[in-house]
Amino acid sequence: MSSIREVARAAGVSVATVSRALSMPEKVASKSLAKVHAAVAKLDYKPNMLARNFRSARSYAVVVLVPDIANPFYGLFIRALEDRAQQKGYAVLLGDTRGTAEREQEYIRRVETRLADGIIQLRPSSEKTKNNISADIPCVYACGCEYNTGPAIHIDNRGAARTMVDYLLSLGHRRIGVISGLKDNPHTIDRLEGYKESLRNAGIEFSKELIAEGDFTMWSGLNAAFQFCNMKQRPTAIFCMNDEMAIGAMQTLKAQGIRIPEDMSVTGFDDIAYAKYCDPSLTTISQPAEEMGKMAMDMLLRIIEGESLSQTDCVLPTEFIIRKSTAPVKLI
Amino acid sequence: MSSIREVARAAGVSVATVSRALSMPEKVASKSLAKVHAAVAKLDYKPNMLARNFRSARSYAVVVLVPDIANPFYGLFIRALEDRAQQKGYAVLLGDTRGTAEREQEYIRRVETRLADGIIQLRPSSEKTKNNISADIPCVYACGCEYNTGPAIHIDNRGAARTMVDYLLSLGHRRIGVISGLKDNPHTIDRLEGYKESLRNAGIEFSKELIAEGDFTMWSGLNAAFQFCNMKQRPTAIFCMNDEMAIGAMQTLKAQGIRIPEDMSVTGFDDIAYAKYCDPSLTTISQPAEEMGKMAMDMLLRIIEGESLSQTDCVLPTEFIIRKSTAPVKLI
DNA sequence: TGACTGAAGTTGACCGTTAAAGCTGGTTGG
DNA sequence: CCAACCAGCTTTAACGGTCAACTTCAGTCA
């Protein structure tokens, strides 16, 4: 409740001296410093950061736009983002957009009205699904794609998908189904490209009927898997574009009496915590979510503070993790 | 970039008229209103909320203290909290404490220094594990326990545990193991109390060797389960105090060749999304996380706005969900 | 006509902090 | 001896909104 004026009066110095004693103590005589500290302690003074931020025209807060906070993959990201922001004295304003443009807009407005200094966007942006974040707002894509326009951190989605499909091919699989994310999603596009490249290199023709569209939720994976169960000539492996859909798909396959991996191999993407503990444990691609989050936050804060970036696009390596959900194709 | 003064000049009215036109338009003549709106549009004026908040001595932000954002159970809570806060014009400042008191303290300081108006605490507080949030800070426990001191939303942990153990007893189980959370955790205490009550009612003696301590993580459940595998006289059922530990435990049991539920029943708590999709699907207690979150946020905002609360302690009902991880005890 | 009324608009104080400019007394170098 | 300089402080003026108090003015009615 007490203001800097009261502290100044109690310490017998001016307000400016108190201000300096607190923010640049080396510029103040030790005698005054002691008086100020005594007064601060006596009055239990807590500086009003709202006033400080107003004065400095900065909020020291960053909006994190996330499609769904309850998605465990984003949880890892956010933990890393928050950690780094906290270290650097910034707060994280959580913006769960639920995938809607309106909610995204409301949070963008928070930046325009100075309630936040910048944005971390966890949804990748493409031509079709644009963000309408104007160019003068500091913004970093923490989970971007190949053709992001602004500063971005991302993995080589195409290459990782190729690695996965190459591996399935090396196990003898020739008919490989895909459970994709939404068609427009940049990650879907990149990963599908990798799948196609891998098949092309192996001389296998791409077949549209082997692609089932999901939306990255467990439930959509569960549904999409039915498409493959009901086929006359079933695929012998399914490449799922994230772990949640793979877990959902495995549920369906097991319910249909299809054994994994003996009858059908299943692979995921992301390596969420649960991928290790599901049954069978999931062969997948591990994304360095923690490091991506930290780098994205560092990048954003550097932009906010007006420093120049050495590079605006950063690709991090993934790890290919073989577990128990994949096996060589069964000889008939 | 433009301020209210420039808008006033462009519209040919005073700053106060602009201010009123934007916040109480019904008090302004329609002619002036039109001029103001035209000027706002022309200058692309965005009010500086930092200044507004400073003036009103409110930040319109709320800190949400969560032990670990990557935990899927908290994800559900936070989604509900954020949703309600957004509706009411408040922002959510994410405070991932990672279970440490220092980080919690840093976020409490944010409230003391006016960067936030109140706190939602997702960690339950007890005598042993106190929060040092001073009494004059608006704070609501969204996931509390029986003996919370401040305003709180919680479930009947003791009763829910009793329901679960009663069910296992009704299936003929007599030796029921427990994988608990950390001993000091209020939820552990309440749920263990329910377990003991249930056994007492059935005339079964409580045995300490049937309690294995975990820490609510999958990994701890995986480890704790070994204690039961190595027993001469194994329990025939395990009551886990959350779903993650149950999923970890099932992993261990399956690896040891113990079939679930034929050889051993396993139960969880919380009903996270995976509980439905793991193998076998998990018998568990569903917490109304969404509603708890909404109610907690409503309560907090009411406290912040100085309204009086009709009740400061709210107990919500749980749902008992029977799935495939439990079965009648095997006759030998 | 002039007093009264109420709505619309103006004015300036105010919030807590900090940057910039100004002051003071003592030291130093030419 | 005086100008230049310095450390360490004080004074003052913003920052951008809001609000209470005040002024203006058109309309009403005795």
- A18-66 tens-digit pLDDT: 999 999 888 888 889 999 999 999 999 999 999 999 999 999 999 999 9
Nucleotides of D under 7 A from a protein CB: 7-12, 14-21
**A68 Cβ under 8 Å from any chain B Cβ:** yes
Nearest CA of chain A to the CA of B144: how many Å? 20
- CA to C1' distance (Å), from A7 to C22: 23
Radius of gyration of chain A (CA): 26
The whole-chain average pLDDT of chain B stands at 93
Inter-CA distances, B247 with B5, B41, B221, B285, Å? 61, 56, 7, 14
**Of how many residues is chain B composed?**
332
**What residues are paired with A120 via a beta bridge?**
A64, A140
Nearest by CB to residue A115, choosing from B50, B248, B251, is B50
Least confident range of A254-258, A304-308, B125-129: B125-129
Cβ-nearest to B247 among A114, A248, A277: A277
Looking at residues A203-218, what average pLDDT do you find?
A: 96
pLDDT of residue B332: 62
Q: Of A54, A79, A106, which has the smallest distance from its Cβ to B69's Cβ?
A: A79
Give bridge partners of residue B66 from the DSSP assignment: B96
In the block, tokens 């800097």 appear at: A4
CA B206 / C1′ C30 distance in Å: 96
- Asked whether the beta carbons of B223 and B213 are under 8 A apart, the reply is no
> Does residue A5 lie within 7 Å of nucleic acid chain C, judged by its CB?
yes
Q: What angle do CA B76, B81, B87 make, to 5 degrees?
A: 130
**Residues with Cβ within 8 Å of residue A156, at least 6 apart in sequence:** A315, A317, A318
How far B202 CA lies from chain A's nearest CA (Å)?
35
pLDDT above 90: residue A133: no
User: What is the rounded distance in angstroms from the CA atom of residue B27 to the CA atom of residue B21?
Assistant: 7
**pLDDT number for residue A199:** 98
Q: What is the largest CA-CA distance in chain A?
A: 92
pLDDT digits (tens, 9 = 90+) for A146-169: 888 889 999 999 999 999 999 999
Q: Residue B315: beta bridge partners?
A: B154
- Residues A311-326 pLDDT 10s: 889 999 999 999 999 9
**What predicted TM-score, i.e. pTM, was given to this entire model?**
0.93
Spatial contact of B266 and B260, defined as CB atoms under 8 Å apart: yes
* pLDDT at residue B128, rounded to an integer: 61
Average confidence (pLDDT) over A101-128 = 91
Q: Which of A75, A95, A113 sits opposite B46 (nearest CB)?
A: A113
Mean residue pLDDT of chain A comes to 93
User: Quick one: CA torsion of A26, A27, A29, A32, rounded to 10 degrees?
Assistant: -100
Chain A nearest CA to B40, separation (Å)? 14
pLDDT band at A254 (very low <50, low <70, confident <90, very high): very high
On whether the CB atoms of residues B244 and B221 are closer than 8 A, the answer is yes
Closest nucleotide (C1' vs CA) to A31 is D8
Q: How many Cβ pairs closer than 8 A exist between chain A and B?
A: 137
Residue B120 near chain A (CB below 8 Å):
no
Q: Which secondary structure element, helix H or strand E, spans residue B120, and what is its range?
A: strand B118-121
Q: Are A234 and A175 in contact (CB under 8 A)?
A: yes
- CB contacts under 8 A, B 166-205 vs A, are none
Inter-chain touch B106–A114, beta carbons under 8 Å: no
Q: A144 to chain B, minimum CA–CA distance in Å?
A: 20
Q: Stated in angstroms, how far is B226 CA from C10 C1'? A: 79
Give the full edge-to-edge strand order of the sheet including A118-121. A313-316, A152-155, A139-141, A118-121, A61-66, A91-96, B91-96, B61-66, B118-121, B139-141, B152-155, B313-316
- Those residues of chain B that have pLDDT short of 50 are none
Tell me if B241 sits within 8 A of B269, measured CB to CB. Answer: yes
Per the listing, tokens 């005339």 go with: B203
Judge whether residue B26 contacts strand C, using its CB and a 7 Å cut-off. Answer: no
Of A79, A113, A251, the CB nearest to B48: A113
**CB neighbourhood size of B1 (10 A):** 9
Q: Which nucleotides of C are covered by protein (CB under 7 A)?
A: 7-12, 14-21
Does B59 sit within 8 Å of A54, measured CB to CB? no
Task: Indicate the SS3 state at residue B10.
Answer: helix
Q: Is A104 on the interface with B (CB under 8 A)?
A: no
Find residues whose C-beta atom lies within 7 angstroms of strand D. Answer: A 12-17, 20, 27-29, 31-32, 54-55, 57; B 3-5, 15-16, 19, 22-23, 47-48, 51-52, 54-56
Q: Are A260 and A325 in contact (CB under 8 A)?
A: yes
Q: Which residue from A minimizes the CA distance to B243? A: A274
What percentage of residues in chain A have a pLDDT greater than 70?
Answer: 98
DSSP state of B208: G
3-state class (DSSP) for residue B280: coil
- DSSP structural state of residue B261: T
Residue A124, pLDDT > 90, answer: no
Q: What is the pLDDT of residue B25?
A: 83
In angstroms, the CA B176 to CA B235 distance is 5
Output the distance from B17 CA to D22 C1' rounded to whole Å.
Answer: 15
**pLDDT attached to residue B129:** 63
The pLDDT confidence band at residue A128, using thresholds 50, 70 and 90, is: low
Q: What distance in Å separates the CA atoms of residue A320 and residue A297, rounded to the nearest whole number?
A: 25
The rounded distance, in Å, linking the Cα atoms of B144 and B155 is 8
Q: How many residues does chain A have?
A: 332
The answer to whether the C-beta of A27 is closer than 7 A to strand C is no
Average pLDDT over every residue of A133-145: 91
Q: Indicate if CB(A52) is under 7 A from strand C.
A: yes
The nucleotide whose C1' lies nearest the CA of A46 is: C16
**Hey, is the C-beta of A70 within 8 angstroms of any chain B C-beta?**
yes
Q: Does residue A129 have a pLDDT over 80?
A: no
> Which residues, other chains included, contact B252 with Cβ-Cβ below 8 Å and sequence gap of 6+?
B221, B222, B223, B225, B226, B229
Closest nucleotide over all strands to A7 (CA to C1')? C16
B59 touches chain A (CB under 8 A): yes
* Element housing B316 (H / E): strand B313-316
Find out whether B216 and B241 touch, Cβ atoms under 8 Å: yes
Q: What's phi and psi for B204, nearest 5 deg?
A: -105, 135
Nearest-by-Cβ selection for A279 from B93, B103, B254: B254
Which neighbouring-strand residues pair with A66? A96
Q: Are strands B61-66 and A118-121 parallel, antiparallel or unpaired?
A: unpaired
Q: Confirm or reject contact between B117 and chain A (CB < 8 A).
A: no
Secondary structure in 3-state letters for chain A: CCCHHHHHHHHCCCHHHHHHHHHCHHHCCHHHHHHHHHHHHHHCCCCCHHHHHHHHCCCCEEEEEECCCCCHHHHHHHHHHHHHHHHCCCEEEEEECCCCHHHHHHHHHHHHCCCCCEEEECCCCCCCCCCCCCCCCCEEECCCCCCCCCCEEEECHHHHHHHHHHHHHHCCCCCEEEEECCCCCHHHHHHHHHHHHHHHHCCCCCCHHHEEECCCCHHHHHHHHHHHHCCCCCCCEEEECCHHHHHHHHHHHHHCCCCCCCCCEEECCECCHHHHHCCCCCEEEECCHHHHHHHHHHHHHHHHCCCCCCCCEEEECCEEECCCCCCCCCCC
Scan for tokens 């706190």, then name that residue. B119
Chain A: residue whose CA lies nearest to B48: A113
Q: What are all long-range contacts of B108-111, with beta carbons under 8 Å and residues at least 24 apart?
A: B108/B63, B108/B132, B108/B133, B108/B137, B109/A46, B110/A49, B110/A91, B110/B63, B111/B63, B111/B137
